[in-house]
Amino acid sequence: MPNLVLASASPRRRELLASVGIAVEVRPSHVDETLAPGLPLEDALVQVARRKAQAAAGGDPDAWVLGADTAVVVDDRVLGKPAGRDEARAMLERLSGRSHRVITAVCLVGPGGEDRSIAVTTRVWFRALAAAEIAWYTGLPEPYDKAGAYGIQGAGAALVERIEGSYTNVVGLPLAETLALLRGTGIPPWERAAGRVPRAAVAGEDARP
């Protein structure tokens, strides 16, 4: 039976899938995450998500693999994960009192190498942050493994005024859109609840007993 594989070490992505009953095999992939210059950002992120999924597939003929890549964008500048407290502080000062975009690209690579992809954008508004708030938040471990130096699902929620669009996209995986991507394979997501799907269904055959 084909495996459903998550090409990410992110516990947040795994937990989001688990929250709707989908178990996955986790296979973190290590690829060049440099965004291709000259491409629209969404397309460049899809390229990275595709590279992650293809690397995690590793020639496995039975694997359906999900790859994802998230970017926080303000003033057309992509904010990655902060290297330390000074960089985290600078990022939060840049985000303070204004809006930014969170874009997540998701690519599903199937047996035979076929792939389907999406890119989802959410607009996030931060409150005007006091220096003491930024000092408090950057003193936590939370910001340092997250693009843009905040996690909306944790203490970072205190920094956010409002959002427009998918909340789970900001967490790291646009869940509704990812489930639609899975349904597009012809197999309902709930049939993947154990991380596996019937071979006959994948082959497009009648899966009745």
> Which residues have a catalytic role annotated?
69
Residue 46 carries which DSSP code? Answer: H
Output the six-digit token pair for 147. Answer: 């693009």
Q: Write out the E strands in 10-98.
A: 25-26, 63-74, 77-79
- For the chain, the 3-state helix, strand and coil shares in percent, each to the nearest 5, are 40, 25, 35
99-109 and 115-126 as β-strands: parallel, antiparallel, unpaired?
Answer: antiparallel
The sign one gets for the Cα dihedral 91, 95, 100, 103 is: positive
Whole-number Å distance between alpha carbons of 205 and 46: 30
Please name which of 45, 75, 50, 22 lies closest in space to residue 169, comparing C-alpha atoms.
45
Using an 8 Å Cβ cutoff, are 74 and 14 in contact?
no
